């Protein structure tokens, strides 16, 4: 039978608790073998070589046992797997190996499951029944991925069976059908949904970009716009708005682009670095005077980036005043 099979109570088994196994029964002898222990041989054909019988195939009961790992306690299992007859005939005729028989049968069984008229969620051979929340939680998704998955799963009428599952892979499968719905559920903005749906990116990345886009739209709509303001105020305004719409890392990138030798602007730049707690490794770019001045200005940069929309204009005006300017900023 093979050195990897153990015998007990008329059963030869590899003793692995596998999702998919080959089961061969001949009279009172039963053999169980998982996919990992299967070989490139055909066990049935090896048996019949040593048996003389005109109806030998009828004396064997051969099946593929498919039972995904249950993560939920369902009242009644909705999966009723049957060995595909066409694949079974290939096996009985010696056209495929044990491993191929298991693999091809499992693939067809999963296809049959996906055609059922009820919701079942299976990822990497783990079954979550119809519990969408448990299925989603298993991926530890980001907030935007969770909203995307919730939107997709609510719209599904049939089972979802996926291998090498990730939130992005699941979203990719249904993006053409439900992508716009996912984006609208995330942003509640039809314009942004239409625009982002057509991006040639992976769905998970598109969702992140949509959140940023939506945030930018909201922030820019609520903050004052300036047509002509002093260079130091223009710089502070730009960094603060990037921080509010794209986050600290993007604001740091913008500061890194600074080429000016204007002491006031560089002092404001270093004040932002102090506010962000990101001076390490950047100190050498600034003079002693600029760094000392920045210590005085950092309270103003902190108030600016943390300001509410109605506070923003005054915060920018006060920061400009702290640099020594007497100019009055006018809203556009």
For every residue of 40-59, which 3-state class applies, written as one string?
A: CCCHHHHHHCCCCCCCHHHH
**Pair of tokens at residue 137:** 């939680």
Instruction: Tell me the C-alpha distance between 39 and 1, whole Å.
Output: 12
Instruction: Tell me the C-alpha distance between 200 and 231, whole Å.
Output: 37
CB 266 within 8 A of CB 260: yes
pLDDT at site 13:
86
pLDDT at site 2:
46
Instruction: Tell me the C-alpha distance between 210 and 195, whole Å.
Output: 9
Instruction: Tell me the C-alpha distance between 63 and 173, whole Å.
Output: 31
pLDDT at site 148:
97
CB 60 within 8 A of CB 23: no
Residues pairing with 30 in the sheet: 11, 25
Instruction: Tell me the C-alpha distance between 134 and 122, whole Å.
Output: 11
pTM of the predicted protein model: 0.68
CB 120 within 8 A of CB 79: yes
Any residues with CB less than 8 A from the CB of 248 and at least 6 apart, and which? 276, 278
Which letter, b or e, does each residue of 184-195 get, where b requires 16 or more Cβ atoms within 10 Å of its Cβ?
bbbbebeebbee
Instruction: Tell me the C-alpha distance between 116 and 37, whole Å.
Output: 31
Q: Where are the domains of the chain?
A: 6-68+81-97, 126-219, 223-322
Any residues with CB less than 8 A from the CB of 168 and at least 6 apart, and which? 145, 202, 203, 204
Segments in the chain below pLDDT 70: 1-3, 53-54
Instruction: Tell me the C-alpha distance between 157 and 180, whole Å.
Output: 18
CB 127 within 8 A of CB 120: yes
What distance lies between CA 278 and its chain's CA centroid?
30
The tokens 């919701």 sit on which residue?
Answer: 119
Instruction: Tell me the C-alpha distance between 198 and 54, whole Å.
Output: 63
Instruction: Tell me the C-alpha distance between 118 and 195, whole Å.
Output: 33
pLDDT digits (tens, 9 = 90+) for 130-155: 999 999 999 999 999 999 999 999 99
Q: Return the closest-CA partner of residue 218 out of 180, 252, 196, 188.
A: 188
Q: Would residue 110 be called left, alpha or beta, if left means φ above 0 and alpha means ψ between -120 and 50 degrees?
A: alpha
The tokens 């596998």 sit on which residue?
Answer: 18
Radius of gyration of the chain (CA): 32
Instruction: Tell me the C-alpha distance between 187 and 179, whole Å.
Output: 12
């Amino acid at each position: 039978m093979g050195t990897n099979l153990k015998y007990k109570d008329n059963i030869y088994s590899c003793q692995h608790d596998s999702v998919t196994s080959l089961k061969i029964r001949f009279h009172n002898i039963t053999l169980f073998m998982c996919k990992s222990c299967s070989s490139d041989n055909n066990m049935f054909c090896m048996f019949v070589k040593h048996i003389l019988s005109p109806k030998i195939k009828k004396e064997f009961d051969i099946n593929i046992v498919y039972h995904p790992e249950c993560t939920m306690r369902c009242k009644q299992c909705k999966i009723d797997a049957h060995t595909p007859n066409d694949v079974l005939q290939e096996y009985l005729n010696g056209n495929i190996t044990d491993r191929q028989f298991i693999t091809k049968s499992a693939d067809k069984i999963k296809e049959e499951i996906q055609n059922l008229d009820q919701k079942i969620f299976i990822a990497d051979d783990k079954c979550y029944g119809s519990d969408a929340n448990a299925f989603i939680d298993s991926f530890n998704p980001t907030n935007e991925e969770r909203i995307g998955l919730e939107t997709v799963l609510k719209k599904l009428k049939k089972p979802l069976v996926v291998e090498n599952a990730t939130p992005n892979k699941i979203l990719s499968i249904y993006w053409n059908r439900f992508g716009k719905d996912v984006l609208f559920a995330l942003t509640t903005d039809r314009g942004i949904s239409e625009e982002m749906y057509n991006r040639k990116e992976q769905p998970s990345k598109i969702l992140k970009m949509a959140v940023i886009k939506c945030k930018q739209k909201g922030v820019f709509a609520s903050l004052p716009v300036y047509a002509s303001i002093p260079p130091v105020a223009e710089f502070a305004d730009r960094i603060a708005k990037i921080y509010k719409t794209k986050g600290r890392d993007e604001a740091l990138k913008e500061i890194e682009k600074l080429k000016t030798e204007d002491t006031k602007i560089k002092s404001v730049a270093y004040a932002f670095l102090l506010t962000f707690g990101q001076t390490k490794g950047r100190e050498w770019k600034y003079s002693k005077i600029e760094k000392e001045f920045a210590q005085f200005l950092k309270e103003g940069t902190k108030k600016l980036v943390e300001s509410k929309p109605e506070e923003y204009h005054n915060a920018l005006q006060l920061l400009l005043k702290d640099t020594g300017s007497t100019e009055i900023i006018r809203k556009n």
